[in-house]
C-alpha cells in the first residue's frame, strides 16, 4: 500500500494512503478529541469535535472523515480550534439535560471528560431544558433521551456490528430522536436482539443497564473492538 | 428456549398484507414497488406513492413497506420523519401550509403561523382533535415573489397577513364550509 507523508503539529509522519487524519495522528500518539467516532464503526462526522486546520483550506475539516494526502500540513491544537471545541461542548450541554451529579455515567462519561479537559467551567448559552422521555420498557436496558447527544454511535453499532437495524435517528434538527423500530417502546421491538452493543457504545449516560445507579455505568469498549477484529481479520485477541 | 420465544413474537406480528388483503391500495403500492424492482433505495418514491394512496403513513403501512423492501422498520420511520412532506397522522379535512422560507419569513410568515396556532389551539405540524384542520409550515415553496405565501387546501395564495389567514380558517371551522 502506498504511503503518504504529511505533517501534523510540526511532526513529519507517514501514513497509509487510505487512512484518515485521525488514524494517522493516533498512530503517532497525537491526541485529537472525538465524540461520535467509535473504533471499528464507520464514521459520520456528526459531532465536529475532531475539527482540525489544514493549510491551504479556510474551512476546518473533521479529522475522522478526512483522508490523508501527500504533503498535507495539519494543525490539531490551535487557539481557534480550542475555542470552537469548547463552544461545541457547551452547546451539547445546553441542548439537553446533563446533571452529572445524578447521572449513571458520572465519572465514566466521555462528554464530561471532554468538558473537563477543555476547561469548560460554565456554559455561555441558555439551557434549553427539554422534557424528554425515559424508556424503561426493555427487560435489560434503559434509555434516557435527556442524556443523548445524538452522536449516532448506538445506531451505527446496531446496523453495522450487530446487523439488527433496530435503532435509527428520526426527525430532524433539534427535534431529532433515537428511535427503536417504528418508535415503539424498546421492550416491544421485534428486531432488537438484546445484544447490548448500543449500551456499550454510548458515550454518555443515555443508554444504561437497568439497575445501574449514579456513577455505576461503566462500559467495556474493548468488547466492541474485539468483535470487529474477529469479524474482519478472523483474529480473536482476548 | 430463547429461539422459541423470538419465533412466537414474529408470528404474533402478522404481515399487514394479509390483514389488508381486501384493500386494493396495497396492491397498487406493490405494483409501484415492483416497478422499482423492490430496490431499497426507492424508499422515498415508495413512501410518496403510499402517502398519495392513503393520505398518511401509519404503522401498518410503514411495516408493509419495510417488509416488501426488506428494510428494518427503523429506517422507514427515520426517513418518513425526516421529511416534512410525509404525514404520520391523518390530515385534517382542511389544510393550511404557511411558507416559512426566508422571503416569506422576512415578510411576516411567523406572525401568520402564530395567529393560526393561537386560534386553532394547535402547534404547526398538528391537526385539531376534531380532525377538521391541519396546520403545517414549509421551507420556500418557490413563490417568493408573492411572499408571504400560504397554501390553503392546495391553493397557493399571495401576500397573507394574520387577518386574512384567520378569516380564511375561521370560515372553514365556524361555518363548516
Ligand atoms: S443514545 Fe448514546 S450512543 Fe446513541 S446517539 Fe444518544 S448519545 Fe449517542
Ligand atoms: S469524531 Fe469526527 S466529527 Fe465526531
Ligand atoms: S420563501 Fe416562501 S415561497 Fe420562497
Q: Per-domain residue ranges for chain A?
A: 100-233
Q: Is there an atom of ligand 1 within 6 Å of A199 CB?
A: no
Give me the residue label for grid cell 421491538. Answer: A189
A216 touches chain B (CB under 8 A): no
pLDDT in tens, A125-137: 999 999 999 999 9
Locate cell 424508499: which residue? B43
Task: Please give the Cα distance from B35 to A216 (Å, whole number).
Answer: 53
pLDDT for res B16: 53
pLDDT 10s digits, B74-85: 999 999 999 988
Instruction: Give how far B127 is from chain A: nearest CA, Å.
Output: 18
Distance in angstroms (rounded) separating the CA atoms of residues A161 and A202: 14
The CATH classification number of A100-233 equals 3.30.70.20
Q: What is the pLDDT of residues A184-225, one digit of tens each?
A: 999 999 999 999 999 999 999 999 999 888 988 988 888 888
Task: Choose among A61, A72, A81: nearest CA to A17.
Answer: A72
Distance from CA of A208 to the nearest CA of B (A): 21
Which of A166, A169, A170 is facing B72, going by the closest CB pair?
A166
Ligand nearest to the CA of A186: 1
Predicted structure pTM score: 0.83
Instruction: Please check the confidence at residue B152 and state whether its pLDDT lies above 80.
Output: yes
Answer yes or no: is pLDDT of B2 > 80: no
Proportion of chain A above pLDDT 70, given as a percent: 100
Closest ligand 1 atom to A36 CA: 8
Distance from CA of B174 to the nearest CA of A (A): 33
What's the confidence (pLDDT) of residue B84? 83
- ipTM beyond 0.85? yes
Q: Do A182 and B62 touch (CB under 8 A)?
A: yes
Helix (H) or strand (E) run with residue B61 in it: helix B59-69
Q: How many A×B Cβ pairs under 8 Å?
A: 46
Give pLDDT, residue A223: 87
Q: Is A179 on the interface with B (CB under 8 A)?
A: yes
Interchain pair A168, B10: CB under 8 A: no
Amino acid at each position: 500500500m502506498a504511503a503518504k507523508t504529511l505533517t501534523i503539529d510540526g511532526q513529519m509522519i507517514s501514513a497509509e494512503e487510505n487512512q484518515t487524519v485521525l488514524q494517522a495522528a493516533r498512530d503517532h500518539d497525537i491526541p485529537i478529541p472525538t465524540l461520535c467516532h467509535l473504533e471499528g464503526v464507520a464514521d459520520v462526522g456528526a459531532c465536529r469535535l475532531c475539527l482540525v486546520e489544514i493549510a491551504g483550506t479556510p474551512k476546518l475539516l473533521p479529522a475522522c472523515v478526512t483522508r490523508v494526502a501527500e504533503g498535507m500540513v495539519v494543525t490539531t491544537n490551535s487557539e481557534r480550534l480550542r475555542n470552537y471545541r469548547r463552544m461545541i461542548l457547551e452547546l451539547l450541554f445546553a441542548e439537553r439535560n446533563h446533571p452529572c451529579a445524578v447521572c449513571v455515567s458520572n465519572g465514566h462519561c466521555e462528554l464530561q471528560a471532554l468538558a473537563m479537559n477543555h476547561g469548560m467551567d460554565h456554559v455561555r448559552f441558555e439551557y434549553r431544558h427539554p422534557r424528554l422521555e425515559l424508556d424503561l420498557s426493555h427487560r435489560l436496558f434503559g434509555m434516557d433521551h435527556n442524556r443523548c447527544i445524538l452522536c449516532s454511535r448506538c445506531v451505527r453499532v446496531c446496523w453495522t456490528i450487530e446487523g439488527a437495524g433496530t435503532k435509527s435517528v428520526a426527525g430532524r434538527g433539534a427535534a431529532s430522536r433515537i428511535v427503536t423500530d417504528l418508535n415503539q417502546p424498546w421492550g416491544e421491538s421485534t428486531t432488537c436482539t438484546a445484544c447490548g452493543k448500543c449500551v456499550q457504545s454510548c458515550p454518555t449516560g443515555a443508554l444504561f443497564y437497568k439497575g445501574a445507579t449514579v456513577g455505576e455505568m461503566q462500559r467495556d469498549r474493548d468488547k466492541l473492538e474485539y468483535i470487529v477484529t474477529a469479524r474482519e481479520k478472523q483474529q480473536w485477541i482476548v | 428456549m430463547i429461539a422459541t420465544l423470538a419465533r412466537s413474537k414474529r408470528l404474533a406480528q402478522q404481515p399487514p398484507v394479509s390483514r389488508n388483503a381486501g384493500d386494493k391500495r396495497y396492491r397498487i403500492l406493490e405494483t409501484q414497488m415492483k416497478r422499482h424492482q423492490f430496490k431499497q433505495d426507492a424508499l422515498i418514491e415508495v413512501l410518496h406513492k403510499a402517502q398519495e394512496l392513503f393520505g398518511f403513513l401509519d404503522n401498518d403501512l410503514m411495516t408493509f413497506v419495510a417488509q416488501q423492501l426488506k428494510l428494518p422498520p427503523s429506517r422507514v420511520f427515520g426517513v418518513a420523519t425526516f421529511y416534512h412532506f410525509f404525514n404520520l397522522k391523518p390530515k385534517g379535512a382542511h389544510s393550511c401550509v404557511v411558507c416559512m422560507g426566508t422571503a416569506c419569513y422576512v415578510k411576516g410568515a411567523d406572525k401568520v403561523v402564530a395567529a393560526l396556532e393561537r386560534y386553532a389551539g394547535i402547534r404547526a405540524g398538528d391537526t385539531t382533535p376534531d380532525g377538521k384542520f391541519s396546520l403545517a409550515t414549509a421551507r420556500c415553496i418557490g413563490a417568493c415573489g408573492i411572499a408571504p405565501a400560504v397554501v390553503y387546501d392546495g391553493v397557493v395564495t399571495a401576500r397573507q397577513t394574520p387577518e386574512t389567514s384567520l378569516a380564511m380558517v375561521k370560515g372553514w371551522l365556524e361555518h363548516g364550509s
